[in-house]
Amino acid sequence: MRRTARAIIHYDALVHNFNRVRQLAPDSRIIAVIKADAYGHGMIQAAKTLQQADGFAVACIKEAIALREAGIQQPVTVFQGFQTAEQLQQAIKFQLRPVIHQAHQIELLEQNSEGHLSVWFKVDTGMGRLGIRPDDVNDLWQRLQQCSCIDDVGLMSHFANADDPEHDVNRRQIDYFRQLSRRFNVETSMSNSAAIISFPDMQGDWVRPGIMLYGSSPLLGKTAEELGLKPVMQLESEIIAINYLKKGDTIGYGSQWVCPEDMPVGVVAIGYGDGYPRHAASGTPVYLNQQRTQIIGRVSMDMITIDLRPLDQVTVGDPVELWGEHVSVDEVATSAGTIGYELLCQVSACRLV
């Protein structure tokens, strides 16, 4: 039996957003980032839909192997690279492109005498997460060049604040990355979704869009619609009950929402067990019967309650959009004190896709 809560994936919108990246970065090759099950949209299906991508990127070797086993032939970047000799062997066998971000990986490459692979040399220009620290760059770059199993090496880094173009750290990251690109003179990759838009002159040889492909805005203060992006995921459920509460009645756990008048309240079959955020506050928009209304009271595990005062003629079984075409995932994220990324990823963890 079909579950009432469901995530519908609009693959045409995924292609639309990919083409939007092409417009924004016409001179770069595009690595479509499909880690975390394509941000909750289904990794294999997303990869098959984005046939035109020049490459894909995932977080770990296991995801990359799943892509190869599904017949995906493009270059596959592995952001976390390999941690063990066994994983290095897998990277070679499946012709993956791992990220080299620490000395330990270079030791494994030095000990390896068979096979070939291309890699990314990732420098920490200011993100402070994965990446070779500036003090070690020269030494490790030299050692990497001497590894007999290495084909191409690209230079990569990652912005910490591309969503906020005015942030000071951006300038430092850009200056340092430019300096390294001039010194090493290899192909480069620096830009995630936000940077593709904020810093067009940093697009380099390969751009790495993730969130924008799924139609969520990568920039603070700009909506996805303003950026020409279309929502890919439509999260829906249905009204399962309509209650008529009296003035002064309270709704849900904690009894925090108090009815200001006699009013109709809809119960919708979706909750945090389905990936809808528990922290979505009263006032978070939902859409049904061609109108927006809002959630009232706390989100439960399998249910939410919504204000039906603005609507006439609601019946049990009416579909409700939690996010998608009429309510952006970014609005819901803001109401829940988080980001669209988290909400989208949460849905595949709940197996709605």
Ligand X SMILES: *Cc1c(COP(=O)(O)O)cnc(C)c1O
The residue within the footprint of ligand X, chosen from 210, 215, 324, 340 (CB under 6 A), is 210
**Tokens 């309509």 correspond to what residue?**
242
> How many residues bind to ligand X according to rule CB under 6 A?
12
C-beta atoms surrounding 341 within 10 Å: 19
Chain residues 212-241 in contact with ligand X, contact rule CB under 6 A = 218
Q: Which is nearer to ligand X, 55 or 324 (CB)?
A: 55
Span from 44-52, 90-98, 204-212, 299-307 in contact with ligand X (CB under 6 A): 204-212
Question: What ranges in 10-128 are assigned the alpha helix state H?
Answer: 11-24, 35-40, 43-49, 61-69, 85-93, 103-110
Chain residues 35-74 in contact with ligand X, contact rule CB under 6 A = 35
Q: Which is nearer to ligand X, 191 or 284 (CB)?
A: 191
What is the DSSP code string of 116-185?
-EEEEEEB-SS--SSSB-GGGHHHHHHHHHT-TTEEEEEEE---SSTTSTT-HHHHHHHHHHHHHHHHH-
Q: Which is nearer to ligand X, 191 or 305 (CB)?
A: 191
Residue nearest to ligand X (CB): 210
Residue 292, φ and ψ in degrees, nearest 5: -95, 140
Cβ atoms of residues 319 and 286 within 8 Å = no
Q: Which is nearer to ligand X, 123 or 140 (CB)?
A: 123
**Tokens 């819901």 correspond to what residue?**
332
The residue within the footprint of ligand X, chosen from 154, 209, 231, 340 (CB under 6 A), is 209
C-beta atoms surrounding 279 within 10 Å: 13
Measure the CA–CA gap between 288 and 13, rounded to whole angstroms. 21
Q: Is 192 in the site for ligand X (CB under 6 A)?
A: yes
> Exactly one of 35, 272, 287, 341 is catalytic; which is it?
35
Closest-CA residue to 97 (of 135, 64, 127, 70): 64
Measure the CA–CA gap between 235 and 68, rounded to whole angstroms. 29
DSSP 287: E
Span from 4-12, 102-110, 189-197, 248-256 in contact with ligand X (CB under 6 A): 189-197
Residue type, position 312, single letter: D
Q: Which is nearer to ligand X, 57 or 306 (CB)?
A: 57
Q: Is 33 in the site for ligand X (CB under 6 A)?
A: yes
The residue within the footprint of ligand X, chosen from 90, 105, 193, 198 (CB under 6 A), is 193
> Exactly one of 39, 48, 253, 341 is catalytic; which is it?
253
35: annotated active-site residue: yes
Q: Is 158 in the site for ligand X (CB under 6 A)?
A: yes
Q: Which is nearer to ligand X, 249 or 342 (CB)?
A: 342
Q: How far is the CB of 185 from ligand X (least distance, A)?
A: 22
Cβ atoms of residues 260 and 288 within 8 Å = no
Q: Site residues (CB under 6 A) for ligand X?
A: 33, 35, 79, 158, 192-194, 208-211, 218
Among all residues, which ones are annotated catalytic?
A: 35, 253
